[in-house]
Structure 1
């Protein structure tokens, strides 16, 4: 019998300004609900993040709250936010920055 999978309610965020760190993204999206995971990928050559991330909420309510808000502005930039189409587990194979 397969182990039950934990349901994670995720969004995919693009157009993240290069000046924004993991902590700021977590704090910003924390206003919509409890953030369980925040994954911001970094370029190994430049040391800068790639401008996109995944945010996992503890509840569907947090996810829906984030999707209802428009626009999302962080440090003057308009973030593009959409429901994530793939499982967060798929991203865990990357050895980039993962803040659980």
Structure 2
């Protein structure tokens, strides 16, 4: 299948509490489907979360389920969840 673009199931997650790490992000989004990768972006100079991250699902179902949910809450905060730019 050369020349065919592979579908990406990656979400950009913003407004994360600073206490959330990769493990918690993976745990939360696993309820929608198999998560291939979850990462939180950290400020290397101070070691704290920048408040956003990425979740990549293995398949379309998990991606669509998480994308279509109206509101996501982690530790009382409403997350901003949207498809990541390729």
- After TM superposition, the score normalised by the length of structure 1 is 0.77
Distance 2:26 2:77 in 1: 16
After superposition, give the CA deviation of every residue in 1:73-95 in whole Å (9 maximum; x if it has no partner): 00000000001121xxxxxxxxx
Tell me, which stretches of 5 or more residues in structure 2 are unaligned? none
Aligned to 2:77: 77
Aligned residue for 2:48?
Answer: 48
Residue deviations 1:36-89 (CA, integer Å, cap 9, x gap): 011211111111111111100000111000011121000000000001121xxx
Q: Which structure 1 segments of 5+ residues have no match?
A: 87-100
Secondary structure, counterpart of 1:63 in structure 2: helix
Partner of residue 62, structure 2 = 62
Query: 1:1-100 counterparts in 2 under 5 A?
Result: 7-86=7-86
Whichever structure has more strand as a proportion of its residues is 2
CA distance in 2, matches of 1:23, 1:65: 20
* CA RMSD in angstroms, aligned pairs only: 1.7
